[in-house]
Chains A and B, each alone.
Chain A
Amino acid sequence: MPLTLRSMALALAVTLPAADAAGQTVVRGTFDQTRTLKGHTSPLSSRGTFSFSADEGLIWHVTSPVEVMTIMSPRGLAQSVGDAAPTHLPAGQVPMFAMFRAMIAAAITGELDSLSGTFTLERTEDSAGAFTAVLTPKGEGGAGRLPVRQLVLTGRTLIETATIHKTNGDTDQIAFLDQRRDTGGLNDAEKKLIALSSR
């Protein structure tokens, strides 16, 4: 499913908190996600935790209202729901995986300018250091083929909120909370989870 994976890659790349490029740095935090779906009166809300390492990958753990663990690493993807056995998707079977990883790296470093090839970027910053970035997919090719109308990012040193406006009228909003950096790398439990993606 190239289209959906591409949207996932881009959405993730531009919504992840900015972090140091240093490999050992891990950013941990919680998130609240609100999805407003066209035709449905109440939004879908979920929350959970995340851990991100430039070298190892991402652990995205939805804890409520259902438990969903999604792992992404250079070796592939894995997802498990509740106690069910995880499903795997090796990197070689994921279209656009190299692009996906490159975009994650951009998000890690916070260098959104590296996305200027596929998005039009408007960035404003106030005197207190809070910034707002508005990204609009360019043209017909690349990001222009995504079902995304606009991405709006806000933050200070880290990205604090991301709002994705879809072309079909849906809106996804993610708030990153309690973010903290740790230079000690992933802990053992996190490393085990990351290992799931390379099975």
Chain B
Amino acid sequence: MRRGLALLWLGVVAVVAALQAAAWLRDVEVRGELLALFPVETRDPRKTAALNDLNASVAGRIALLIGNGTRELARADAVRARDRLLASPAVSSATLSGVVDADAVLQLYRAKGGGLLSDADRTLLASGGGARLVDRAAGQILGGFGIIDSDWLKDDPFVLLPSFLQSLPRSFGATELDDGMLTVREDGTYWIVLVAKLSGDAMTLDVQKSVVEAVRAIESASSAGTRVLKSGAVFFAEAGSRVALQETSTFGTISTIAVVLLLIAAFRSVGPLLHNLISVSVGILFGLAAVVLVFGNIHVFTFLLGTSVIGIAIDYGIHYCAQCYSAEPDPARRLARIFPGLLLGFVTTIAGYALFLLSALPGLSQLAVFMVVGLTAAFVTVVLWFPALDRQRSRPLPAALDAVTRAIDRLARSNGARWGGLIALVLLSLYGAAQVRVSDDVRTLQSLDAALVREQRDIQRLAGVQFAGQMLAIDTADDEAALQLQEMLIPRLDELVRQDRLVEWQAPARWVPSSSRQQADASLVDAALVKPFWTMLARRIGLEGPELSPRAARLTLEDLRAVGLLEDLVRGPGRHAVLLMGLVDPQDGRRLAELDPRILFVDAAGEVSSVLALYRERAELLVAAAWIATLVLLIWRYGWRGGVRVVLPTTVAMAVAPLIAAVFAVQLNLFGILALILVLSIGIDYSIFVREGPPSERHVTMASVLLDALTTLLAFGLLGLSSAEAVRGFGLTMLFGIAIATILAPLAARPGRAAR
């Protein structure tokens, strides 16, 4: 019967493996976008499009500054750097002269700027201050070294255009165009600005590799004394990926070698190692298959967290394998001895994860399906296959393992140690409680490369290059409506700048006012300046001849787009972007968006943070629900006192672990809560194994718990050394939680029955 079931399970596993292979060959959709984690009903297609726009205008750009004390060397290196970037498949364009032809833009404004007024001039004219503009015009005509010539006067007799032009935003504020190259000079160094646009997604490894290789080649090919500064999301992403890969490789190698050595040393055979590898692989296979079957896709979030099934599934296998240290030689009976404990541990974990299906969050729902099905498959594998594969003879515990397990058992059951441990835990927890900070801000989860941060600051200081972090996405029926909406925002944005709550902003309306505003401004100039003051101006400067009036031609959005301007700001008819640079408080952006339903505030970091906050809050509730479900099952099995006794070690571990982690400056966030879910799932297994284990062989049970804990700590605890805050927090919470749950597990034993 058992053999038949084992073979049947082999058939099922083979079929699922084949189907999965076929499905992945057909290309299963692996979703990585953040918004896919939001509940479907709250997903806003406008926000998705706007986030993509922001991403394209921010993440898709890089800026390099090439500096040398000799102007010619700096320029020659800059040309080589541009050519090298253009040779990279990841770069679609690169320029040393700024993104637009400044002369062409000026000619356009001169030809069609009849309706352009700076805000200051508009205010002055509206308040009857035309005479002051006459004085200014006279000064510019007579005192400006002949700049204002007859052509200029013909189109702009009151010389209003320079004032408007000076109010335009400057992308590269501190630079000047020196013989075709944007240049800034500081402390004897000539810095040339090189800006480039990427052809692909900055978050993909291929693009990162290509761009970074190009920049390295630029650095190595540059003249002696040349420095290259770089700025752009792609560099931070590459540094993050590189560190993550290095850490994954280092921690993964250490942990794999350590787990292999541990299991081989503990069982003196590779059999248990291979058997556990099989059960964990089957678990992951079924978890993946179930998610793909139910959802039709899998999110990276599920994939990464789902593999933590390893930490739980391996416990079942090790618990079985450790029975070789019992007196029972028969594999079937070995299983029978531990089966109630295995089953209860499995059921409590499954019940906890099944509750995640109620979260209404796609990420957690996928995770629930992955864990429930994956753990079930791993459990079935252990139950059906392990006894059949078991070739281990009964033997005593290795001396070292025996000594450690007995020490832990004694420690947990000694009154002195209990009180000492309790006082130490309480004191540590109280200290940790004072340090606990809840933060979902994604920016605090990343440890940005310090050298890159310095280079970015230098570029910002030297050349004024700053990438937008947020934007207001405008979505209206046509361009005119979009420009009018921006004109409503302009005074509010200027006020934020005056209050130092915003460094800079860019919007199409800053370059080209709406037609209605140009018309109104032209009428204002005619009524408040030309008609009342032309004679005064002509007399003041001694000009004779016909009355001059501003040109009638009006500037349009299309005019500016034709000269390459507004590329990042206009996404389509009526779809404009107001880019916000250095916004101090995102709440200010939200308030602006609340002024009109056609405005959407888009904050890339804020979106990630809000996903993290939403998931943390739901995960907190689910942890509580899973804990209650576990307690109910335990009470059903062991009664009130027994249930509480079994749940107590894990509960203490869950309560104390985040507090101790806080002592190490770990902020409480989603990753900490996910660690607590694992502490509950894994820790409760330890207590159940101890409770269910034969009292006469407590040392065997504790040995299996200890091996479980060591493999878990090696797999997850090492993450506490990570430089990424999220990973470090997860690892440290796991480390403290699992350690405490292990040390306290003997408390779950039936009272009055000591170890052998």
Contact = CB atoms under 8 A, between A and B. Distances in A.
Interface of A: 1-5, 7-8, 11-12, 33, 35, 37-42, 44-46, 60, 62, 65-66, 68-70, 79-82, 84, 89, 92-99, 142, 145, 147, 164, 166, 168-170, 172
Closest 5 CB pairs of A and B: A68-B143, A81-B139, A68-B139, A37-B150, A92-B174
Interface in B162-187: 162, 165-166, 170, 173-179, 183-185
B27 interface: no
A42 B153 contact: no
Given A44-B541, A99-B178, A168-B151, A11 B135 contact: no
A20 B174 CA distance: 31
A98 B136 contact: no
A94 B176 contact: yes
B365 to A, nearest CB: 54
Contact of A38 (B147, B150, B170): B150
Given A1-B162, A93-B170, 14 more contacts: A5-B147, A8-B147, A12-B145, A40-B150, A42-B544, A60-B145, A65-B541, A66-B135, A68-B143, A81-B139, A81-B143, A84-B136, A93-B173, A166-B146
B142 interface: yes
22 contacts: A1-B106, A4-B162, A5-B147, A7-B147, A8-B145, A37-B150, A40-B150, A40-B543, A42-B543, A44-B141, A62-B143, A66-B142, A66-B143, A70-B143, A84-B132, A89-B166, A92-B176, A92-B184, A95-B177, A96-B177, A98-B183, A166-B146
Interface string B82-108: 000000000000000000001100110
Interface residues of B, number: 43
B597 interface: no
Given A39-B545, A170-B150, A95 B102 contact: yes
A2 B177 contact: yes
A12 to B, nearest CB: 5
A2 to B, nearest CB: 5
B545 A40 contact: yes
B393 interface: no
Contacts of A95: 102, 176-177
A35 B149 CA distance: 9
A73 B542 CA distance: 30
B143 A60 contact: yes
B138 interface: yes
A168 B154 CA distance: 12
B139 A79 contact: yes
B146 A164 contact: yes
B540 interface: yes
A45 B542 contact: yes
Contacts of A4: 106, 147, 162
A142 B179 contact: yes
Contact of B144 (A8, A42, A80, A170): A8
Interface string B218-229: 000000000000
Contacts of B185: 98
A65 B177 contact: no
A1 B326 CA distance: 89
Contacts of A70: 143-145
Contacts of B141: 44
Contacts of A66: 135, 138-139, 142-143, 540-541
A46 B141 CA distance: 10
Given A1-B106, A44-B141, A84-B136, A147 B544 contact: no
A145 B103 contact: yes
Most B CB within 10 A of own CB, among A4, A11, A95, A145: A4
A168 B149 contact: yes
B543 A65 contact: no
A145 to B, nearest CB: 7
Given A1-B165, A84-B132, A147-B149, A65 B540 contact: yes
A96 B149 CA distance: 20
A82 B174 CA distance: 30
A135 to B, nearest CB: 15
Nearest to A171: B146
A97 B135 contact: no
A39 B150 contact: yes
Given A44-B142, A98-B183, A81 B176 contact: no
A108 B121 CA distance: 37
Nearest to B182: A95
A60 B66 CA distance: 37
Nearest to B149: A170
Contacts of B166: 89
Given A66-B138, A94-B176, A11 B146 contact: yes
A96 B585 CA distance: 36
Contacts of A168: 149-151
A35 B146 contact: yes
Contact of B103 (A2, A35, A89): A2
Given A39-B154, A92-B184, A11 B145 contact: yes
Nearest to B150: A37
B67 to A, nearest CB: 15
Nearest to B107: A3
Contact of B136 (A60, A81, A89, A145): A81
Contact of A98 (B146, B170, B178): B178
Interface string B523-562: 0000000000000000011111100000000000000000
A98 B142 CA distance: 25
Nearest to B546: A39
Interface in B485-528: none
Nearest to A97: B176
A92 B173 contact: yes
Contact of A166 (B106, B149, B170): B149
A116 B183 CA distance: 23
A29 to B, nearest CB: 16
A109 B179 CA distance: 23
A39 B132 CA distance: 26
B239 to A, nearest CB: 30
A68 B170 CA distance: 27
A142 B179 CA distance: 7
A92 B173 CA distance: 7
A96 B145 contact: no
Most A CB within 10 A of own CB, among B107, B138, B173: B138
A97 B178 CA distance: 9
Contacts of A8: 144-147
B138 A37 contact: no
A96 B106 contact: no
B143 A79 contact: yes
A186 B459 CA distance: 36
B136 to A, nearest CB: 5
Contact of B176 (A3, A37, A82, A98): A98
Nearest to B109: A1
A37 B153 contact: yes
B426 to A, nearest CB: 60
A63 B419 CA distance: 93
Contacts of B150: 37-40, 168-170
B190 to A, nearest CB: 9
B267 to A, nearest CB: 71
